[in-house]
Chains A and B, each alone.
Chain A
Amino acid sequence: MDYVASFNFVNKIKWFAEESLTAMTIEAKTKTKKGLYSIEFDKNGALEDLEIDIDFKSIPAPVKLQIIDHLTSNYKRHRIKKTQLQYSGNPEDIRDYLVLSKEKSIIKKYEIVIKAKNESGVHLYEFLFSHTGDLERKSKIIFRNSDNLEY
């Protein structure tokens, strides 16, 4: 909590505990002028990463082109649903970089959610690209059962 407070966010911070297929995480979310901030911690309180929602168009041109090239060559059709700039590394360095604009050696990546069509149908995928546009991770988003909303 102290770490999140040190950002001096103006708007209200919402805390969430989430369970994924592999682990439980604690997330703090708030809106800022730069976009929606999501600060994610593991269950022991160690920072996992900090993500800021951005416009896909704001990614530097060469990186953006490399990402688009990867998506167009692997999917018949795709649509970008969400783009986040992800920061990881030393927590204090991340804060100093974002709050005080100090140059720090932090890890910057792009997390992108796309709706894409391939041979097996239409699916939602989450991609993680390095700051140079190299693919590091891809996972298919599985929706929760929605029977109680359909019947």
Chain B
Amino acid sequence: MSSFIISRKYVTVLLLLFICSFLKGQNNQFGSLSAINLRKGLAKDWKLNFNVTGRQQFARNKLNIEEGYEYLLTDLSVIAAKKTGLNNSLASGYLVRFEKGSTSHRFIEQFTIVSHYNSFRLSHRFRADLTLNKNYAPETRIRYRIAPEIPLSGLAVDEKEFYLKLNNEYLVSFQSDEQDLEIRLVPALGYRITKNNRLEIGLDSRIDSFLNNESRKRFWLVLNWYGIL
């Protein structure tokens, strides 16, 4: 119980810091990301992951111009993964992004390691993707994400139990002659509803363009549902 209280305080402090940062900045965006992840297991350690994500903007502040609500985009993706070892898998997939006036196509490769410790799990995800859009030059990104999952009761997350997850991702992008670095931090509170269903709520904060320009900060309230078909 005490770890739960500490965790709640930690998440509250982080939230306040992010909101303060948003109010102070000159190039900020705030909205929501809602995703449904469905997994279908296949024979011989193969699995398919289907994802639908919707992104909405609630507010934006750029060069002192303020914008309000806007539905930004919808992502649809399918990723095929093959277990390549005891705790690792190799995956390849395709994502299509529908946004106002354009459609992007993204090709994804990823390698994931999920380590199981006595009282938590830790994942390392290495990902490379290529995004094609007829209005822009192709963009390649190399990404690394580390994500611990810590049960708030017991040694593992059982049904009807809460947990904390903290995603931290680093993305290096290459487009034409330009490179950029983006850093993402996503503290989330999760709940395992049933054996096959999980719900996570958190705050996805992203900072980029800070190498050459004024940094851009984006904050998304995140609601993720993970299920099994």
Q: Using a CB–CB distance below 8 Å, which chain A residues touch chain B?
A: 16-19, 27, 115, 121-124, 143-151
Contact B123 A149 (CB under 8 A): yes
| Contact mask for chain B residues 153-167; partner A; CB cutoff 8 A; 1 contact, 0 none | 111111100000100
Contact A146 B37 (CB under 8 A): no
Known: A147-B49, A151-B37, A151-B49. A18 touches B158 (CB 8 A): yes
Q: Using a CB–CB distance below 8 Å, which chain B residues touch chain A?
A: 37, 39, 45, 49, 51, 79, 81, 83, 85-87, 89, 91, 110, 112, 114, 116, 121, 123, 125, 147, 149, 153-159, 165, 190, 196, 198, 200, 224, 226, 228
Q: Give the top 3 A-B pairs by smallest Cβ distance, nearest first.
A: A149-B123, A146-B114, A19-B158
* Contacts A19-B158, A150-B81 known; 17 new A-B pairs at CB < 8 A: A16-B155, A19-B159, A124-B86, A143-B114, A144-B156, A145-B39, A146-B121, A146-B123, A147-B39, A147-B226, A148-B224, A149-B125, A150-B91, A150-B114, A150-B125, A151-B51, A151-B226
Among residues of A, the one whose C-beta sits closest to the C-beta of B227 is A147
Known: A16-B154, A18-B156, A18-B158. A147 touches B37 (CB 8 A): yes
10 A–B pairs (Cβ distance < 8 Å), ordered by A: A18-B155, A143-B87, A145-B196, A145-B226, A148-B37, A148-B149, A148-B165, A148-B190, A148-B200, A150-B89
Contact A123 B149 (CB under 8 A): no
**A150 to chain B: which residues have CB within 8 Å?**
49, 81, 89, 91, 110, 112, 114, 123, 125
Among residues of A, the one whose C-beta sits closest to the C-beta of B44 is A121
Contact A144 B157 (CB under 8 A): yes
Chain B contact residues, majority secondary structure: strand
CA distance A150 to B84 in the complex (A): 14
**A18 to chain B: which residues have CB within 8 Å?**
154-156, 158
**B154 to chain A: which residues have CB within 8 Å?**
16-18
**A27 to chain B: which residues have CB within 8 Å?**
155
Q: How far is the CB of A32 from chain B (nearest CB, A)?
A: 16
CA distance A86 to B85 in the complex (A): 29
* 8 Å CB contact of B153 from A17, A123, A145, A149: A17
CA distance A10 to B125 in the complex (A): 40
| Most chain B CB within a 10 A radius of its CB, from A16, A143, A146, A149 | A149
**A151 to chain B: which residues have CB within 8 Å?**
37, 49, 51, 79, 226
**B112 to chain A: which residues have CB within 8 Å?**
149-150
Q: How far is the CB of B6 from chain A (nearest CB, A)?
A: 15
* 8 Å CB contact of A148 from B89, B156, B198: B198
Among residues of B, the one whose C-beta sits closest to the C-beta of A150 is B112
Q: How far is the CB of B44 from chain A (nearest CB, A)?
A: 9
**A146 to chain B: which residues have CB within 8 Å?**
114, 121, 123
CA distance A121 to B89 in the complex (A): 13
**B156 to chain A: which residues have CB within 8 Å?**
18, 144
Among residues of A, the one whose C-beta sits closest to the C-beta of B197 is A145
CA distance A16 to B89 in the complex (A): 30
Q: How far is the CB of B88 from chain A (nearest CB, A)?
A: 10
Q: How far is the CB of A54 from chain B (nearest CB, A)?
A: 16
CA distance A146 to B83 in the complex (A): 12
Q: How far is the CB of B160 from chain A (nearest CB, A)?
A: 10
